[in-house]
Structure 1
């Protein structure tokens, strides 16, 4: 009978394997923490208020730079005499101070922070709409200073909420207003960007509270170059390793006379999605403008999470339930569990995918601008949160039951010979260690899912350490490598076929060999048992086995076909 490597691996080799993988995990954790503190950086830039005499703001070749005719104070009567909000353009150059972006920084998110001043005798409504007419242009450092190329234009509505402390009404004070997400660039291909913003007031019902605006700031959020270099380098290293171990694992499966079981299929699927995620296609963004790279990343992450969470369900269920025919199980048996996992992952993927689809067309667009779109997006996220929460609670419960099932196997150990007792104790110990690693991986995955959703909100100032992001990514790879290596079929044959001396031991005759990859309980004792008069200690082992089953109150009888080989008077058929 063919077993998996975990069953035949010695404790020493298993310890060496685990220690090496833990050292690899620690190295990745330290690299992520020492190279850079956080994956992203934030920089706040004050806009320059320029005077614009042109009425056609949508002109694609007309751009205002910070070297324009400035208006120092919007609330100084002499500066704005005879002007209205249509003559004011807020100009922001990114990055400031003559610096340049790097293509390694990958993405750029712009969030507006508007200062609204309190004027005596007038109060703002708490919630109001603000119409923003924005234009975005780009240039490379080799281009002339005056050359700016149009990138995108949009007139979007943002919902703004401002509050004011009624206890402080002496002089002018600023309102406490929410920030407004403005744009998101998923491919930072050019060196410099120029943003022109106008708050139109052609309609009396539009932008009624523009007169309260004092300053407009842009909070830029972009990826750190050092973090991206480390992440891409790890992908370039992990990708061939994952593919190589997958090929090695499948070759061992292919050499068997039986078809692959469900757990082996699931291992191939989850390792395949991990390899797809490791594929370093982001290196192409260093050469080509690929604003759709975020869509591909959403698909890759969605497939990986779906495969990994589905694998854990099958992995836990296969070891928690007594399997009558473990090699005949199919994924359809687990459809109630897998379907819920699939719906939850697809709900999260749908929100991110729709957001990035519209931003490929125009970076100023967003699914969060209208109440209807916001309600639908929140519904999908809430549904995904509920399903994922139920999933992890159920998964922790199933893993706990698996621990209990394997600990109860120790009750069968007195029936085994000393050699077999050591063998099965080692198998149970190694499998419990694998379950412990699974619990750690599940916990970090849950934390990563929650933090990744919170990090996507540009309004929340949430900073996740680089060591956690790099460490979690390395942990998924190392965990999948471990599963592929220890769950692969072993080339060794079990002892009942290779060792004649132990062939008739109590444990090998009272129960068939246990496959810990698909079965969680020792099989029932055989209906008949034959005794060979080879060694006296073997006869003693059989007698101990009989005494054990009699004490348990279980039926036990020896086969009649071999009674002639037993010395007369020694034992009779039970």
Structure 2
């Protein structure tokens, strides 16, 4: 009979030097893992052939704080009667090496004060307004707060303290940034459609925001089920059962499909925005030279930010999908995925540069802007922040 599963007993211990006794972290008995082996190399009888099986998830630690770790593995013969004799076992260890750890921590330490100062300056500008902040400004504030939380370099504490919850904490703050950033892109593109629809409230975007919220909550619950239990039992894995593996694989596929659909929707919206801008450009030659220069500069700024949004959105979706596949291919198969630290640091730096650019360019102006009378064919990209007190206009808008 071909073996379909294997049962293991595992113990995990640590010590910080050779003079200390081994201290037990966790133990787990009768851990069942389903096997996926090559049946062509297996025969019943006296002929001995090795089984070619796929990798099995064993244990996962959120923080490797101690100097030495010891793993004891036992295969009870009474529970593995069809397995036969074990000749060789390979254990793959996936960890964050010291070189990348130093670069990653240093990058966070460098960008944290820069983005924090920009966020504080942006909040100060909002407090100076004599009006209620727009929905775009409030959403951008949430994005700045989310990436500031993600930049907070508390990772340095893991060098001195044992913090097994770090992986769960990192997943939560990264998921929070994902959700806020996806919501911001929907609002950012919608606020620049330049049509007659009023979008000055989050209620208009309830469909898009609900879809993003439901997807993020589902991914959080899925991640919390595994990471949360691993805080007390590092040997737990949602991939250890067929039902759990199917659910986990389904969540990853569903998340990838949702990311692709969201990206397509966002790109279509951005294309519509650029088409509206091109349609409005025909009124520019009829303006005075001062107004032409003013509007052209604003269009260039807006086009640059929308192009940067397009690029950032595409890289974020690719980073999310590749990250999920990289984490899962060790658990469901041996797909060849090259996911380097350069991609992770590059996308992380791109996020900070993108948010920093938005905070600077979309901060409310503290200057008095001269309103420009607009007709029905005029350009409209950003609402005015301040008007002259001595002048009134029935219909006037300007850029900030």
2:381 paired residue among 495, 516, 536:
516
- Structure 2 distance, partners of 1:321, 1:379, is 39
Report deviation, 1:379.
Answer: 3.9
The answer for the alignment partner of 1:355 in structure 2 is 226
- Structure 2 distance, partners of 1:514, 1:243, is 34
- Higher mean Cα deviation, 165-174 or 188-197? 165-174
CA contact (8 A) 1:187 1:291 kept: yes
The answer for the alignment partner of 1:19 in structure 2 is none
Report deviation, 1:352.
Answer: 1.7
In the alignment, structure 1 residue 179 sits paired with structure 2 residue 55: yes
The answer for the alignment partner of 1:22 in structure 2 is none
SS in 1 for 2:95: strand
In the alignment, structure 1 residue 464 sits paired with structure 2 residue 330: no
SS in 1 for 2:93: strand
- Structure 2 distance, partners of 1:346, 1:527, is 45
Unaligned 5+ segments in structure 1 are 1-123, 497-506, 520-525, 529-574
In the alignment, structure 1 residue 442 sits paired with structure 2 residue 307: no
The answer for the alignment partner of 1:237 in structure 2 is 110
Normalising by the residue count of structure 2, what TM-score does the alignment of the two structures yield?
0.88
Q: Return closer, same or farther for 1:348/1:167 CA change in 2, 3 Å cut-off.
A: closer
Matches within 5 A, 1:92-131: 125=2, 128-131=4-7
Q: Return closer, same or farther for 1:321/1:207 CA change in 2, 3 Å cut-off.
A: farther
CA contact (8 A) 2:194 2:381 kept: no
1:191 paired residue among 63, 67, 72:
67
Q: Return closer, same or farther for 1:380/1:162 CA change in 2, 3 Å cut-off.
A: closer
- What is the CA RMSD across the aligned residues, in angstroms? 2.6
- Structure 1 distance, partners of 2:196, 2:154, is 42
- Structure 2 distance, partners of 1:259, 1:138, is 56
Matches within 5 A, 1:238-317: 238-317=111-190
- Structure 1 distance, partners of 2:62, 2:41, is 42
In the alignment, structure 1 residue 154 sits paired with structure 2 residue 50: no
Report deviation, 1:373.
Answer: 2.6
The answer for the alignment partner of 1:213 in structure 2 is 86
Greater share of strand: 1
In the alignment, structure 1 residue 452 sits paired with structure 2 residue 323: yes
In the alignment, structure 1 residue 493 sits paired with structure 2 residue 368: yes
- Structure 2 distance, partners of 1:319, 1:384, is 28
Q: Deviations over 1:159-218 (max 9, x none)?
A: 01211446999975433211111111111011111111111123xxx2123324211121
* Larger Rg belongs to: 1
Normalising by the residue count of structure 1, what TM-score does the alignment of the two structures yield?
0.62
- Structure 2 distance, partners of 1:173, 1:142, is 40
- Structure 1 distance, partners of 2:367, 2:77, is 81
Report deviation, 1:419.
Answer: 2.0
The count of aligned residue pairs is 381
Report deviation, 1:246.
Answer: 0.9
Unaligned 5+ segments in structure 2 are 385-392, 396-400
